[in-house]
Chains A and B, each alone.
Chain A
Amino acid sequence: MLNRKEPGIRARNPASVPHLVSGISDFPSLPSPPMAILVDANTRVICQGITGSYGAQHTKGCWAYGTKLLGGVTPGKGGTKDAHGLPIWDTVEQAVKATGATATMIFVPPVLAADAILEAAAAGLKTICAITEGIPVQDMVKTRGVLDEMNSQGAGIMLVGPNCPGVITPGPKSTREGAGASGENPYTTSGCKIGIMPGYINTHISEAKLGKAVGIVSRSGTLTYEAVWQTSSRGLAQSTCVGIGGDPVRGVNHIDCIKLFEADPDTHGIMMIGEIGGSDEIEAAAYIKKHVKKPVAAFIAGRTAPPGRRMGHAGAIIGGADDTADAKIKALQAAGVTVAMSPADLGVAMLQAMKLG
């Protein structure tokens, strides 16, 4: 059992929150952590850019969800504490040394964010969630090149994003009345939320009517929420949801997450949300056909987008024949994936794929 008290997010007197005053040992590991991919209830997390307005707001949101968010980094503010009493360090290396963190959430401004990713990688962090939107593409080409080099030597770094909502492995809602039921009160006992997604819409398997959990991987933030909401309201849980981001050069892609979901015993179905532009979904379709035994449902956004117009995401530009929504839908259907034609049918498609609907 976690001996964490439930102060609620309004009562943020650090003295009432054991781990803030007496250090990280107040977070004992769960005897059998919930299965999931990338992050789970035992993942120790820091925030880079913790004193910026978004960094501060979402550090609070993640903490309130039950994430082991142990502090953050803002160069020049080392040794101080944030508004909620979490410690701040000058460098990621110091933060990792003090907290034993393995994951980070990055809210650093766009032109500095790629360097923040590299700082996290150099400090040995394994799961790097870059939330920042608007990182120059050339910065990501270089960063991805460096990470690929490190990973070829066995570093095992998983970059999620940039320009993404992050990763969440839902936990059971707290026993306190109303806890976890809304955005006002998102508290869970052992979830891990790293990012900006609303936590309360997610469902832990112990609280799902159908007793099955799906893994969700998506290029779009708010569409991920839509998929979570629709699966939750139809009685499914989520094992882990990964927003991989809409930028043309990013970290993990659909295939990386699908591979992890296929191997995770507590994921019973996989939902993939793609969009026009690029060829990731076509490659994912080929991978699913060959390697995936679990039921897969998918949706591709942008079927009606006019060609050649940029629709917000740097990635969502129609280019070659392979990157239209129709080409992607065909490839996925040929791979045995249940494709939702309407964004209102994400949950229904998942149930159909799992033969529950």
Chain B
Amino acid sequence: MKIHEYQGRDLLASYGIPVPSGRMITAASDAAAAYRDATGGNAGGLAVVKAQVHAGGRGKAGFVKLVRSEKEATEAATFMLSNRMKSPQTPPEGLAVSKLLVASGADIADRAGGGKEEFYLAITLDRATRRNVLIASREGGVEIEQIAHDRPDAIKKERLHPTLGLSPSAARKIAFELGMKGKQINQAADIMVKLAKLYVEKDCSLAEINPLVITPKSEKFPDGQVLAIDAKFNFDDNGLVRHPELTSMADNSEENPSELKAQEFGLSYVALDGNIGCLVNGAGLAMSTMDIIKLHGGEPANFLDVGGSASEEAVTEAFGIILSDSRVKGILVNIFGGIMRCDVIAQGIINAASKYKNADGSIGFKVPLVVRLEGTNVEAGRKLLNEARGKIPTMQAANDLGDAAKKVCAAVGA
């Protein structure tokens, strides 16, 4: 699950990590007041208006704008809320924007030797060591993947202790390595320790601050203030069950409706571009089924893992999801029962055949259906399907995985 930038800022603030002032608005008429609040009533002060969508490429699309007056803020808000945002990461028709963030445009101190005091900070899982790792760089505000590739020395890493997390001393070491000085060091270390705490407690899979900046020196902050300007969070879906405060932040407006429906029934579904619908148990077998369809010249229409514990109802629902894709010209069911019983799958197929009527009102699948069953309760499953064969004339049984792929590819003319 992902959350919006304004929600990420709130999350940082709730852990005491300083962020520039700002708030979310949904109407252009609120932009003037939001601008005044963000700039502390400072006429001509710099603020930024940003569209709140999950897709990237906002800046180039004109959906991130710097503004210096109430009028400019209102104009920017009006434009973003009444136009669809199009970028390489959005569908071709673009995305409607319903939420905007209006935030103070923090001043960033100049860096000795050129550039601005912008840093990158993130915590994620390092699968190789099975530990969480803090990643930091002096090169903030840019594509960190590119930096990591071109100049690996510019990336600092600190492994978190599996039970104790990030210690203040380890965080200070990173701050020194980033070239911070004086009071900046404890400010930055404090942010790192709090980010690590947030990352673990909220079951994140990624907690990223980019950029982390230092503001120019002021009376209150003689060495400048260390501030988080933008944040990105991804969450471990397995951990969400214990975070109702996070699930309530979910914004599903940008998600594929079929994928959402699948989630509701505990199915793992990813829409693809081909015409052979797949229904498989187990993620590895489901991926392999896609692979073997391609090897035989076909194109999978989806990845669908019914999981280990699906009910007949969920299996029937899975057919509904596959059949709702009008490009599907054939379906391959590949089940190797372990925890999943073949008779449950068979009954799900039979129920689906009577539930999803064809355009002419007939029941039974209009598209060819190839079924390969093996494993737990396979005899019972095959018996059920044999008895129902008259009702499902488009169904063929396959002996093994290779046979199944051949049959379904032949059936759709691939």
Contact = CB atoms under 8 A, between A and B. Distances in A.
Nearest to A196: B339
B272 A313 contact: no
Contacts, number: 185
Interface in B242-269: 242, 268
Contacts of B127: 248-249, 278-279, 315
Contact of B284 (A134, A140, A249, A273): A273
B299 to A, nearest CB: 9
Given A110-B241, A136-B238, A276 B287 contact: yes
A354 interface: no
Interface stretch (A3-11, A141-149, A289-297): A141-149
Contact of A220 (B285, B303, B401): B285
A220 B336 CA distance: 12
Interface stretch (A70-78, A263-271, A336-344): A336-344
A300 to B, nearest CB: 9
A183 B292 contact: no
A275 B284 contact: yes
Contact of B200 (A138, A197, A198, A229): A138
A341 B289 CA distance: 12
B338 A54 contact: no
B286 interface: yes
B287 A316 contact: yes
Interface residues of B, number: 57
Nearest to A109: B241
Contacts of A246: 283-284
A134 B238 contact: yes
A134 B339 CA distance: 15
Given A110-B238, A229-B374, A221 B379 contact: no
Contact of B283 (A145, A312, A344): A312
Contact of A343 (B238, B288, B305): B288
Contact of A198 (B238, B290, B338): B338
Interface stretch (B12-20, B68-76, B128-136, B218-226): B128-136
Nearest to A279: B128
A131 B393 CA distance: 39
A275 B303 CA distance: 15
B265 to A, nearest CB: 14
Contacts of A206: none
B300 interface: yes
A309 interface: yes
B30 interface: no
Contacts of B128: 278-279, 283
A249 B128 CA distance: 9
* Interface-centre pick from B132, B239, B375, B376 (highest chain A CB count, 10 A): B376
Interface string A302-326: 1111100111111110000000000
A226 B401 contact: yes
A223 interface: yes
B203 A111 contact: no
Interface string B361-388: 0000000000000111111100000000
Interface string A213-243: 0000011111101100100000000000000
B338 A222 contact: yes
Interface of A: 54, 58, 110-111, 133-142, 144-146, 148, 165, 182-184, 196-198, 201, 218-223, 225-226, 229, 246, 248-249, 273, 275-276, 278-279, 283, 299, 301-306, 309-316, 341-345
Interface of B: 125, 127-128, 130-132, 161-163, 200, 203, 205, 236-239, 241-242, 268, 270, 272, 280-292, 294-295, 300, 303, 305, 307-309, 336-339, 374-380, 400-402, 405
Given A220-B288, A273-B284, A301-B287, 8 more contacts: A136-B242, A145-B131, A183-B337, A222-B375, A275-B283, A301-B285, A304-B290, A343-B285
Which 4 interchain pairs have the tightest Cβ spacing? A220-B284, A145-B162, A312-B283, A222-B282
7 contacts: A222-B336, A248-B127, A275-B287, A303-B294, A304-B290, A305-B303, A310-B270
